[in-house]
Amino acid sequence: MAGMTLPAARRHYDVLCAAFAPPLPAGMKRVDDRIGSVPVRRHRPAHCRPGTVVYAHGGGFSLGSLDSHQGIAVGLAQALGREVLAIGYRLLPEARYADALDDCRRVIDAVAPAALVGDSAGGRLILDAVAGARRVPPLGLVYPLVGVPTAATLGPDAPLLSRRDALDAWSLIAQDAPGGGGPRPPATAIEVLAVSRDPLTAPLERAVAVWREGGADVGYHLADDMLHGCLHAQVSLPGMAVAWRAFCRALGNRLG
């Protein structure tokens, strides 16, 4: 996608990611909606328990949509047995990171969710959206960008996401993003899913240790020999599927 225009890259990314999504499960309802000016998509499993889970998709802050990550949102709804409401937040560079954060906060405030889940860029948005909040529901974080990444703090290069990619993503949001990664845990209950071949995993594991030292109950799930973005293809990747199921089961247990 490096040689594509941004609109073309976005279309390509959406099609590529959506190609990994399995068919909609029987009885699953998908409804496009809006909360204020923010597009959202509701995914309701056939036997839906009370409590909505808010989900923020990945894509490096400039890619991704309700379509690209629908497979993940559907899988989460099916695994938790609850409505999953995905946020169509504004993307950079047309918007600022502060605008994307505002979209997420508006949805969170309107829904009063049972849990918040984000993957990659969406994980960072969730962390920053709840920063300083007095009451935070359980968090589910899938290979998020945490803290302030530097060449010294990132892990080794890996396919699909390099150290340079991570630093470039940070440069897009640095002006508006809280630093994060401090001693105060973002929530009292957190489930984390990481992959072993990802430069974001080393700083994420340090953050998990800090959060635990700060008193948070943090579950950590690692998919060995998997890459950043492999969650899209978890249906065909047994190692990713096992870690994803464990993550969803642990998050579901926190919701009762």
Q: Please report, rounded to a whole number, the percentage of residues in the chain having pLDDT higher than 90.
A: 95
- Residue 179: what pLDDT? 64
pLDDT tens-place string over residues 167-182 = 999 999 999 998 655 5
DSSP 23-85: PPPTT-EEEEEEETTEEEEEEE-SSPEEEEEEEE--STTTS--TTTTHHHHHHHHHHHTEEEE
Which pTM does this prediction carry? Answer: 0.97
- Is residue 79 within 8 A of residue 215, CB to CB? The reply is no
The whole-number average pLDDT for the span 187-211 is 97
- Residue 28: what pLDDT? 97
Residue 132 has pLDDT above 80, yes or no: yes
Angle at 119 between CA 252 and CA 116, to 5 degrees: 45
pLDDT tens-place string over residues 143-174 = 999 999 999 999 999 999 999 999 999 999 99
Quote the mean pLDDT of the chain.
Answer: 96
The whole-number average pLDDT for the span 6-14 is 97
- Residue 229: what pLDDT? 96
pLDDT tens-place string over residues 235-251 = 999 999 999 999 999 99
Pairing of strands 29-35, 38-44: antiparallel
The whole-number average pLDDT for the span 24-48 is 97
Q: Please report, rounded to a whole number, the percentage of residues in the chain having pLDDT higher than 70.
A: 98
Residue 183 has pLDDT above 80, yes or no: no
CATH of segment(s) 6-255: 3.40.50.1820
Give which of 161, 248, 235 is closest to 201, Cα–Cα: 161
* Residue whose entry in the numeric block shows the structure tokens 């990171």: 97
pLDDT tens-place string over residues 74-108 = 999 999 999 999 999 999 999 999 999 999 999 99
User: In the structure, what pLDDT confidence band is assigned to residue 117 with cuts at 50, 70 and 90?
Assistant: very high
C-alpha separations of 131 from 46, 124, 179, 188 in Å = 34, 11, 10, 13
The whole-number average pLDDT for the span 217-224 is 98
- Residue 113: what pLDDT? 97
Give the separation between CA 69 and CA 232, rounded to whole angstroms: 8
